[in-house]
C-alpha cells in the first residue's frame, strides 16, 4: 500500500490543489523535518501546510501518526534530487529515522506552505 501525505485518491498522500510553487533544490529539508515531526505527534499545522494538504493530513490521522511514530526520531536527511509532480518540481529526500528510512517528496507554494508531501511508504 502506498503511504505518505498528499490530499487525493491515495492513502497517506496529500496534494494541495491550488497554487503551484517551484521548489528550489535542497531548500525544504528543515520544513520536511518539521512537518514529519508534527505529523508523528498527530498535528497538521496550518503554519506549515496549505489548506488542502492540511485537510488530507487530518483525514489520515491516526494512521499517519502511528506510521511515523513507529519509525522513531529523525536522525538525518539526504537530498536525492528533483522530481516532477502535478504541482510542479519537488525535492526528494531520504529521511533517516532511528528505526528505518523513508523517501519523501516535498514542494511548496509561493507562500512557503507545503503543497505536496508524499512518500511511497
In tens, the pLDDT along 77-103 reads 999 999 998 888 999 999 999 999 999
* Residues facing residue 74 across a β-bridge: 97
What pLDDT is recorded for position 87? 85
pLDDT, tens digit, 9 for 90 and up, residues 2-58 = 445 544 333 344 444 333 343 346 799 999 999 999 999 999 999 999 999 999 999
- Residue 26 is predicted with a pLDDT of 76
Portion of the chain with pLDDT greater than 90, in percent = 72
User: How buried is 29 (Cβ within 10 angstroms: 0-12 exposed, 13-18 middle, 19+ buried)?
Assistant: middle
Residue ranges per structural domain of the chain:
4-8+21-109
pLDDT of residue 28: 95
CATH of region 4-8+21-109, choose from 3.10.450, 3.10.590, 3.40.50, 3.90.550 = 3.10.450
Give all strands (DSSP E) within 1-121, no chain letters.
4-5, 13-15, 74-83, 90-97, 100-108, 114-118
Mean of per-residue pLDDT scores for the chain: 84
Residue 53, pLDDT score: 95
Cell 529523525 locates to: 74
Amino acid at each position: 500500500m502506498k503511504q505518505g501525505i498528499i490530499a487525493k485518491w491515495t492513502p497517506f498522500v496529500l496534494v494541495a490543489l491550488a497554487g503551484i510553487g517551484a521548489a528550489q533544490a535542497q531548500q525544504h529539508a528543515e520544513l520536511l523535518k518539521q512537518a514529519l515531526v508534527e505529523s508523528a505527534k498527530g498535528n497538521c499545522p496550518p503554519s506549515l501546510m496549505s489548506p488542502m494538504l492540511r485537510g488530507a493530513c487530518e483525514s489520515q490521522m491516526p494512521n499517519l501518526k502511528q506510521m511515523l511514530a513507529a519509525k522513531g526520531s529523525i536522525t538525518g536527511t539526504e537530498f536525492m534530487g528533483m522530481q516532477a509532480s502535478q504541482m510542479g518540481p519537488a525535492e526528494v529526500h531520504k529521511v533517516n529515522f532511528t528505526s528505518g528510512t523513508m523517501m519523501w517528496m516535498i514542494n511548496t507554494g509561493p507562500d512557503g506552505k507545503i503543497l505536496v508531501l508524499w512518500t511511497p511508504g
